[in-house]
Amino acid sequence: TELDAAILSSRFGVTQNYDGVAARTAVLARLSVKLGDTPEFLDETDRNRLERDLATFRAQQTHKAELIERFKRMNAVLRNSLPAFPLLVDRALSDTRLDEALRDTLNRYALDVLGHTNTSDAQTSLRLEQQRARLLADAERLPHGVAGALRNILTHGDIIVSTKPPLEALTRDIITQPTAAMAQALTEHYSQAYQRASVKASRYRQLLYVASLLLASYLAIAILRLARASGALALSNRTLASQVDALNRTQSELRLLANVFTNAAEGMVITDGAGRILAINPAFTRITGYRLEDVHGRTPSILSSGRQDAGFYAQMWSALSRSGKWQGEIWNRSRGGTIYPEWLSISAVHDDDGSPTHYIGIFTDISERKSAEAHINHLAHHDALTGLPN
């Protein structure tokens, strides 16, 4: 379809070259070669059929390519004459050395030339011959320059009359070539062959499934026999007891850690490697007012008070990247809108490759401490009785 569109585009002057035609012809040639590599899993009968279809398709494609080469030659000739013809006629009609009768004959000849390319009837052809002969005879008695212009017009008119109708027929012939239908048939035949190959493969899969069941049965029997061996059973019991002890120790440690996490006075938050919140402890909720369902999947930036600029957070992440730890004073905002100071410690948890998988933040509300410091500072620099600076 794209090739036919490129042909029509070139024919009607939308494009001034044949690059589009050449590019699409090359693509079809490459696809034709690629289609020749039929899959090995197809049945031999299907492969032979596809190869015959492909041979027919390639022959038709070659024929279309030959028609396209003829089209390019004829179209190049017509493209040279068709735009020049009306310009030469207009220039000649404006020449004052032509009498009124000759102008009338030339005008009717030009109209018949352009009309003949669309109708091509016998009456128009006869009239064209008569007009051409009259113009050729008149050219003999005219000055050299005018006569040459008339002969040039007649030459281009002959080219248009003799070239455009067969070029139109050739264009229709190219567009109506059955290559698309052949390609569709080739596609259908390949689909049918692939379907048959799929059915055959399905049978093989069923056989492999049965074989797998038989093998699994044999392995089950072997395992049962091994299970009867007292030594293996004793080893399994010792291993199991060791695993149970390890599991109990792990559960005790987990309970202890969970108890610390739950009952800690400091707020705790655990995020993933991207900074999204996974877990918080009750102290986090008490200090910030946010519950887990409020912050889960979000980043701690929801607590930002806006008092620290981007440079502050950039230094924080830089320290975490370098040493895996950071601590410092930061101002945050609770859910109720209260801005409070806190002392925050962040630790990164890394995997075996050194990439951070989680971040653990522990913070304490230091509002009372900041207030006490401010009060002490006031007392140090003001008179206790009058409140005036000392």
- pLDDT confidence of residue 300: 93
HSE-CB at 235 with a 13 A cutoff on CA atoms is 7
HSE-CB at 16 with a 13 A cutoff on CA atoms is 2
Asked if pLDDT for residue 118 goes beyond 60, the answer is no
Helices of type H across 264-335 = 282-288, 292-295, 310-323
**Which one is predicted more confidently, 94 or 119?**
94
How confident is the model over 324-375, as pLDDT tens digits? 999 999 999 999 999 999 999 999 999 988 899 999 999 999 988 888 887 7
Asked if pLDDT for residue 241 goes beyond 60, the answer is yes
Positive or negative, the CA dihedral 262, 266, 267, 271 is negative
Asked if pLDDT for residue 279 goes beyond 70, the answer is yes
Q: What is the DSSP string of 131-194?
A: HHHHHHHHHTTS-HHHHHHHHHHHHHHHHHHHHHHHHHHHHHHHHT-THHHHHHHHHHHHHHHH
Positive or negative, the CA dihedral 199, 200, 204, 206 is positive
Range scoring the smallest mean pLDDT among 101-115, 132-146, 375-389: 375-389
How confident is the model over 10-57, as pLDDT tens digits? 888 788 788 888 898 888 888 888 887 888 888 889 888 888 888 888
Asked if pLDDT for residue 126 goes beyond 90, the answer is no
Average pLDDT over residues 110-116: 81
Cα gap 41→193, rounded to integer Å: 10
- pLDDT confidence of residue 208: 92
- pLDDT confidence of residue 362: 94
How confident is the model over 191-234, as pLDDT tens digits? 988 898 888 888 889 999 888 889 888 888 988 887 787 778 78
Cα gap 376→350, rounded to integer Å: 43
Asked if pLDDT for residue 187 goes beyond 90, the answer is no
User: Which residues neighbour 352 within 8 Å (Cβ) at sequence distance 6 or greater?
Assistant: none
Which tokens sit at 381?
Answer: 């620099």
Residue 339 is inside which H or E element, if any? strand 339-350
- pLDDT confidence of residue 179: 84
Report the mean per-residue pLDDT for the chain. Answer: 87
Range scoring the smallest mean pLDDT among 245-259, 294-308, 327-341: 245-259
For residues 103 and 93, the answer to whether their CB atoms sit within 8 Å is yes
Cα gap 129→152, rounded to integer Å: 16
Cα gap 347→289, rounded to integer Å: 23
Range scoring the smallest mean pLDDT among 144-158, 176-190, 375-389: 375-389
- CA nearest 129: which of 100, 105, 147, 93? 105
